Amino acid sequence: MSAKAIMKVMFRGLPVSEGIAIGKIRILESPWDEVVRISLRKSRLKKELDRYSSTLKDVEKQLIECRDRVSREIGPDEAKIFSAHLAILNDPFFQTELPEAILENRQNAENVLKQKLDEWTRKFQTIQSDYFRHRLDDIQDVAVRILRSLLRNEASGLQIKDPVILAAHSLTPSDTARMDREKILGFVTEMGGQTSHASILARSMGLPAVVGVERLLREVQNGNQAIVDGNSGLVHINPHHDIVKGYEKRQKQFNVYWKRLAEGAALPAVTEDGEAILLQANITMLADLSLAVRYQAEGIGLFRTELPFLMAGRFLSELEQFDLYKNVVQTMKKGVVTIRTLDLGGDKFLPFQAMEKEKNPFLGWRSIRIFLQERDLFKSQIRAIYRASDFGQVRILFPMISSLSEILEIRKLLEESKNELRAESIPFDEELQVGIMIEVPSAAILAHRLIPHVDFFSIGTNDLIQYTLAVDRNNEKVARFYQPLNPAILDLIRNSIQAAMRYGKSVSLCGEMAGNPVYTGMLLGMGLSEFSMSPLMLPEVKERIRAVSMDQCRSLAEALVEMDSAEQIEKRVWDFNAEVNARQSIPYMEKTGEQAAETGQNIESE
């Protein structure tokens, strides 16, 4: 056996689907490695075009079959991915541009496809937007389907006899959908993100998955023993016997724990001493909406509205927005739908905007600052939201507020929009509530002055932490300074909650802290009674709520006020959760990620 095959390696990636997989690696080879350049005589060009045209028809059939199968086996919302791929297949890029390039270059379809896709990739990679990165994933997925059909190796890489962990540079939704759930234990890839379609499908299928693992394929070989920890993002290759035994125990604990969560999904979110807590979901796309319903969300605490605009590549009309919001409101029959107005800028840009390049776009012309200048566009979204309020419970939420003057300007625009709708005899909810995001430190500091002018607060901890501590959480060099439990952050959260409570108004928390059950007791103790999070985290947070009493949580929060460092606070929070786990016989929710990392680092390569 080669030295590489027995090397013990530990990687850290992005966990995108919970669970633990233990098994042997199977590498999914890329079909692009098989592409060669073939020059064609003029007499062969018609035959090559016919071959390409026939391939497009075959791929169309495959996508329809895949859409229908995923709809039956997983769900109709997840199947919409493949409806989107059918639309991409009919794009002029594949239908017109590629055939023209075959004629012009006099080359085989496979090589032309690879060249043109490389050009697209370079264009898209210059755009700093999660949406465009995922859009590129979709284009590449369709291109891979076409390539496999051209090469006649549609089943390449997925003909598997025994259960394995799949390792790949990237996985498309088509790859994920073709997986045999009984033969795939989990997967790990070099590329991908939390909201990529492959990650969403992995969660729907219950496959443990870790993505964004650099140098993965340089270090692994087919047959290597591996552990994929979809909870912590750790991947162990050829792990030591003790690590395997430890993970086998954790795997059993996780399975028991997850079964317990599933059984409690329909139970109310009520503390041990009877305090009812509101659990809502954050959504970005319709697939998230189906998960919110599945996991018993009591409403939508944050509907991010940017994605439909980015997908369309233009500003949607008022009617288009109204139809979209009405659909969400009517689908979410239970609870209120809180619709956030567009939060553009930073890393989300619309291609039709003439945006000057800014040195620091997160601190520049973004979000509410854009739309208080682009008032006609702003009012079209406001009107669409008001119109949707006639079909269910709706609230409107404004992001990136930093001063009272912005709220007063918004209030004027709201009144203008309402007067226009009344004049046009268009019905809407006259009592629709208006709220603001608390995500800029100035807003948190001035919370007591802002709350009289709005109906509710929604605390966005992701940006609040970054702006308060001057740290980019995506920058590994300063990642250790991104501290959700920094005393300054807790003071700002506490100040915002207390200001809302003082005026008898509601306050929710919709950042990542809301979806982390480790922080649930602390936030309850601070007075928070409304949480909004990724739908997938609802069962775990509900379980934590049902395992604590308000007296315990208040005692925890009071103790934290006296502490001066994030390290002190973190230790006390973990101790609190360990005590709850012991009382409730929950061995799984431990600080296992760091412990496993330390164990892996202490094992030397053989």
What is the per-residue DSSP string for 242-296? HHHHHHHHHHHHHHHHHHHHHHTTTS--B-TT--B-EEEEEESSHHHHHHHHHTT
User: Which domain covers residue 69, as residue numbers?
Assistant: 32-151
**Which of 80-89, 516-525, 559-568 is the least confident region?**
80-89
Within a domain: residue 212?
Answer: yes
> Which one is catalytic: 66, 85, 134, 197?
197
pTM score above 0.85: no
Same domain, 461 and 579: yes
Same domain, 179 and 246: yes
Confidence class of residue 3 from pLDDT cuts 50, 70 and 90? very low
CB under 8 Å, gap of 24 or more: what pairs does 562-571 form?
A: 563/487, 564/487, 565/487, 566/483, 566/485, 566/486, 566/487, 569/485, 569/487, 569/490, 570/485
- Contact yes or no for 189/128 (Cβ under 8 A): no
Packing angle between helix 197-205 and helix 76-89, nearest 10 degrees? Answer: 150
Average pLDDT of the segment spanning 544-570: 95
Q: In what order do the strands lie in the sheet with 9-12?
A: 9-12, 234-237, 225-229, 20-27, 164-168, 184-189, 209-211, 14-17
Same domain, 236 and 317: no
Same domain, 126 and 144: yes
Which of these three, 258, 282, 314, is where a domain ends?
A: 258
**Number of domains within the chain:** 3
Same domain, 405 and 489: yes
Closest by CA position to 131, among listed 344, 363, 303:
344
Which of these three, 151, 171, 188, is where a domain ends?
A: 151
Within a domain: residue 1?
Answer: no
Q: For residue 510, indicate whether it is catalytic.
A: yes
Same domain, 101 and 122: yes
Mean pLDDT score across all residues of the chain? 84
**Which of 439-453, 495-509, 532-546, 588-602 is the least confident region?**
588-602
Domain containing 191 — which CATH number? 3.50.30.10
Alpha carbons 343 and 350: distance in angstroms, whole number? 11
Over residues 91-131, the pLDDT tens digits come to 888 999 999 999 999 999 999 999 988 887 776 655 555 54
Output the pLDDT for position 537: 86
DSSP 298: S
Within a domain: residue 2?
Answer: no
Same domain, 279 and 413: yes
Q: For residue 197, indicate whether it is catalytic.
A: yes
Q: Give residue for tokens 């018993």.
A: 296
Within a domain: residue 357?
Answer: no
Task: Count CB-CB contacts under 10 A for residue 159.
Answer: 8
Cα distance between the two ends of the chain: 12
Confidence class of residue 346 from pLDDT cuts 50, 70 and 90? very low
Alpha carbons 586 and 253: distance in angstroms, whole number? 8
> Which one is catalytic: 66, 134, 236, 510?
510
Output the pLDDT for position 464: 94
CA 220 to chain centre: 28
Over residues 492-510, the pLDDT tens digits come to 999 999 999 999 999 999 9
